[in-house]
Amino acid sequence: SQRGRQLTDQLYRSDNVWLKILQRVVLGFGGVGALNELGYNIGTYHLNEGHAVFAFVAKARGLPKDEVEHLKSKFVYTCHTPVEAGHDRFSFDDLGKVLKKEDVDVIERFGREQSGSANLTLLSMNISSAINAVSRNHQRVMHIQFPKYKEQIQYVTNGVHMHTWISTEFKGLFERFPEAFAGFQANPMVLSKANELKSNADFRAQLWQAHQSNKAQLCGLLDKWKLDKDIFTICWARRVAAYKRPSLILHDVNRLVSIAEKVGPLQIILAGKAHPNDNLGFTYINEMLDKVDKLNEDYSKLKIIVLENYDIYLAKILTSSVDVWLNNPLPPFEASGTSGMKAILNGVLQMSTVDGWVAEATDRKMGAFFGYKNAEDSVGNEFDLHMNDDAEQLYRSLEDLVGLYYRTNRQGKADASSAWLDMMIECVCVAGQFNTYRMLDQYKHLIWKTA
């Protein structure tokens, strides 16, 4: 129906409380109803965020209290964000205008917080037999945010689906070296053996060739900007949100000009979309566009491109073809992040703050790590962005990587002994851990307990 489409045409509505409640009713009650109609006998309901928790309320309808308690064994809950906006709260008066009294009673029993509001995150944790964060660092943050549940909160770090995100060039590369990668298509964790080829001159040469081929495809796609595949290229691309600090690399454009003149030319690609209701996100997009507009159009050593209509198609190309993937969220507000996982699968170096999944790989030489680190016992303020200090550290790291790149890339041919190639191999090796194969195995054993 037209009304149904209006309810579901946009995720995470924050401008209308009734639409928010009704969306959660559609997801929770509607989801359970759809499963029933399809004849599924569900053993475990996995709630991803509190948005779906009305599924428990739907299953509790008509049950006596002791059976409602038993129902908890059928539910598990994954929290995906420490950011306040991701945790739904509603007044019980508003819920009562949409739901039956018995439904509101269940929500009040398990999800009433001290302020008197219904908290869907609290409800989700109270009705679940297992709770998990989506990275080790996120688990630490959840322990601070929800100390009462510290003993229950585990973590399963996110992963990416290899077959979706691996480029054709890198898939072919791995197939040509079965001595290290035999069976990688069935089990991507095999990629962790990439270091066995670190001293293999043929592999190092083909690794560089595969990357250069991907980069040439990117330059072809963006031909109107006249990119050069032998110029250092760095990319920031993801959802535009304040804590992700999209404009950090543009904090001091004159510093970028200085690096380009002193060390070597730069190509910077920025892409992303803000949530339609995130006015601050649009402010960042406008800030990026303004800074690009102020650059001299004839300046040849620094190109900054802001791409519109960011989508999965563009993400696949960018994550597999740039030289360095930039990830600079404000710690500890990136619960996991996954774009860097897609990039390392294709040998793309990382330049990142230490947050989310990256915090589990800082002992691996796969690029450069920089920036603010929050106190171990504190979450901090997601709007205190530490832009000045972190921009300075970013530029220092950038200068080092640009220098290494131009010592490695000699008119398209790589110095086979370069540490850059060592780091590309290390990226592939780390990709053996950060994939959905490992992730689902951990869910199976730790959360669903089906093995």
Note whether 188 and 235 are same-domain residues: yes
Cβ atoms within 10 A of the Cβ of 164, count? Answer: 11
Strand runs labelled E in 297-344: 302-307, 324-327
Beta bridge partners of 306: 270
DSSP state string for 336-352: ---HHHHHHTTT-EEEE
pLDDT at 134 (0 to 100): 99
Note whether 233 and 280 are same-domain residues: yes
pLDDT at 380 (0 to 100): 87
**Residues 173-183: what's their mean pLDDT?**
98
Structure confidence by residue, pLDDT tens digits, 19-34: 999 999 999 999 999 9
Domain for residue 134, yes or no?
A: no
Note whether 175 and 221 are same-domain residues: yes
By percentage, how much of the chain surpasses pLDDT 70?
99
Q: Which amino acid is at 295?
A: L
Separation of alpha carbons 49 and 241, rounded Å: 19
- Is the pLDDT at 450 greater than 80, yes or no? no
pLDDT band at 296 (very low <50, low <70, confident <90, very high): low
**Residues 319-345: what's their mean pLDDT?**
98
Domain for residue 449, yes or no?
A: no
Is the CB of residue 119 less than 8 Å from the CB of residue 89? yes
Note whether 113 and 42 are same-domain residues: yes
Note whether 167 and 223 are same-domain residues: yes
Note whether 54 and 181 are same-domain residues: no
**Residues 431-448: what's their mean pLDDT?**
98
Note whether 167 and 98 are same-domain residues: no
Structure confidence by residue, pLDDT tens digits, 153-170: 999 999 999 999 999 999
**Residues 6-15: what's their mean pLDDT?**
78
Instruction: Mention every residue, 6+ apart, whose C-beta is less than 8 A from residue 361.
Output: 430, 433, 434
Domain for residue 137, yes or no?
A: no
Structure confidence by residue, pLDDT tens digits, 61-94: 999 999 999 999 999 999 999 988 889 999 999 9
pLDDT at 298 (0 to 100): 56
How many domains are there within the chain? 2
Cβ atoms within 10 A of the Cβ of 125, count? Answer: 23
Structure confidence by residue, pLDDT tens digits, 105-131: 999 999 999 999 999 999 999 999 999
Cβ atoms within 10 A of the Cβ of 117, count? Answer: 17
Domain for residue 155, yes or no?
A: no
Note whether 333 and 426 are same-domain residues: yes
Cβ atoms within 10 A of the Cβ of 148, count? Answer: 9
How far is CA 424 from each of CA 45, 211, 370, 396, rounded to the nearest angstrom?
Answer: 39, 10, 19, 20
**Least confident among 170-184, 188-202, 235-249, 289-303:** 289-303
Domain for residue 145, yes or no?
A: no
Note whether 179 and 101 are same-domain residues: no
Which residue among 103, 128, 153 closes a domain?
128
Note whether 115 and 174 are same-domain residues: no
**The token pair that represents 337 in the structure block:** 């992040």
pLDDT at 288 (0 to 100): 86
Separation of alpha carbons 227 and 271, rounded Å: 16
Domain for residue 138, yes or no?
A: no
At 342, which CATH number? Answer: 3.40.50.2000
- Is the pLDDT at 304 greater than 60, yes or no? yes
Note whether 317 and 366 are same-domain residues: yes
Three-class DSSP category at 45? strand
Note whether 298 and 352 are same-domain residues: yes
Structure confidence by residue, pLDDT tens digits, 201-238: 999 999 999 999 999 999 999 999 999 999 999 999 99
pLDDT band at 451 (very low <50, low <70, confident <90, very high): low
pTM: 0.95
Helix axes 201-221, 419-431, angle to 10 degrees: 80
Domain span at residue 415 reads 162-434
